Chain A
């Protein structure tokens, strides 16, 4: 007597003998591991599940309701082991082997020969991951290791660089020291076992087919399918799109707007630099670009006036730029990120300019040193005025 386990494949229930179930699970787990670095992993796994479901369906019928272990093995052998990288001719392990090699890998529970089952989550290792990297894959690998979005890791590095200048050095050291994940096994080890993510995907897929059968008519079903398809495709590319697709997206909405944004950014940036230079020269020499202040105007009032003047110049530019962002598709997901990136870029530029200026212009560092007295003076002035 054999225990029977009911599973859900492609929205239909199938009953498998326990041995067959183990084999199938090991097969799918191996598939998941091998495809870990593949951007279409979820889609391929779902294709594979559907294909297995079709093969099971062909086996069943009449009084036969249970797929026995031998049949599962045969189906899996027919499926063949998952070819992680179809472009490479030197695939890993038996990936490129013919039917004989695949049959070995897919035999009852033997798909697990490469990755022992029941071993629990594999220990994570920190690797550089080149798929979807920006420079050398350090941030990408760290993000996978920490299980967070690579964007955050990159931002952290940018902040480290701006604030203390250490981000770049740390990055370079990591790029040299940390090994790159090359083989599928290493790629798998980079993220450990994403059992929760896997579970989530599985549930999402079940939900898809469940929902589809529940729809009363074809148009509704088609609409649902269309949406699901779009989501499945869109998800993987999304963050990449955020970083690389910004320019193209801008251009595709309206060429004029696409052109206006960088132009306005440039104007705004120039205004900003001009304002900062004016402020620096004011603080350093007590005169704006060599033009002395009228007598009886204290430096702090002049600085305040300078800031207001800057606001008057830069304000409309800012508003115009913002209008352009809204114009290119309204407040979608993209604009806060656009703002954030812009802001970060400017913080970086200003920080670099300031640090350079501090090194090369002694007057400026003097000015910085003299800021505390200035504040005291401002406070004193306000006190006097109040009286």
Chain B
């Protein structure tokens, strides 16, 4: 497994976290999320995002409502549930803690 492949597994694991982060700011629909992610390390595609969103909804982290769009079919706008907020907070704290640990280890 090359270094890049390892990173890709890492990124994939973190995707749920960053999606939570994005949705926590405001109600968004899938294309917004993809656009915010594009250009970052977490650039992803509908094929990955939609199954993830539906899994997160099943886990009770987020919910959606249909909204009309100016043209074309209605869109799903996602928002965090209280449980999602809570998980985001926990993950943020854990992430900070991980950072501290990673930097501290191996330094004497």
Could you tell me which A residues sit within 8 Å of B by CB distance?
Answer: 10-12, 31, 35, 38-40, 43-44, 47-48, 50-51, 53-54, 57, 78-87, 89-91, 96-99, 102, 209, 212, 225, 229
Contacts and interface: CB of A to CB of B under 8 A. Distances in A.
B74 A40 contact: no
A97 B45 CA distance: 11
A99 B30 contact: no
Contact of A80 (B15, B45, B57): B45
B36 interface: no
B12 interface: yes
Contacts of A84: 51
A5 B44 CA distance: 30
Interface string B40-51: 000111111011
A235 to B, nearest CB: 13
Contacts, number: 88
Interface stretch (B65-73, B81-89, B93-101): B65-73
Given A35-B51, A84-B51, A89-B13, A48 B46 contact: yes
Contacts of A83: 47-48, 51-52
A80 B66 contact: no
A293 B52 CA distance: 72
18 contacts: A11-B73, A40-B51, A40-B57, A44-B54, A47-B30, A47-B54, A48-B47, A51-B46, A54-B72, A57-B71, A78-B45, A79-B46, A83-B52, A84-B51, A86-B16, A89-B9, A90-B9, A96-B8
Contact of B74 (A12, A97, A225): A225
A39 B58 contact: yes
Contact of B72 (A53, A82, A85): A53
Given A43-B54, A50-B73, A86-B55, A96 B9 contact: yes
A38 B51 contact: yes
A85 B16 CA distance: 12
A81 B74 contact: no
Given A47-B30, A53-B72, A81 B47 contact: yes
A54 B53 CA distance: 18
Given A10-B73, A40-B58, A102-B45, A96 B12 contact: yes
Among B51, B54, B57: residue with most chain A CB under 10 A: B51
A85 B12 CA distance: 11
Nearest to B54: A40
Contacts of B66: 225, 229
Contacts of A79: 45-47
A-B interface, 8 closest residue pairs, ranked by CB to CB distance from nearest: A80-B45, A80-B47, A86-B52, A40-B54, A83-B48, A10-B73, A89-B9, A79-B46
Nearest to B59: A87
B51 A82 contact: yes
Contacts of B92: none
A84 B16 CA distance: 15
Contacts of A91: 12
B49 to A, nearest CB: 8
A51 B31 contact: yes
B103 to A, nearest CB: 24
A91 B52 CA distance: 13
Nearest to A40: B54
Interface string B7-49: 0110011011000000000000011000000000001111110
A102 B12 contact: no
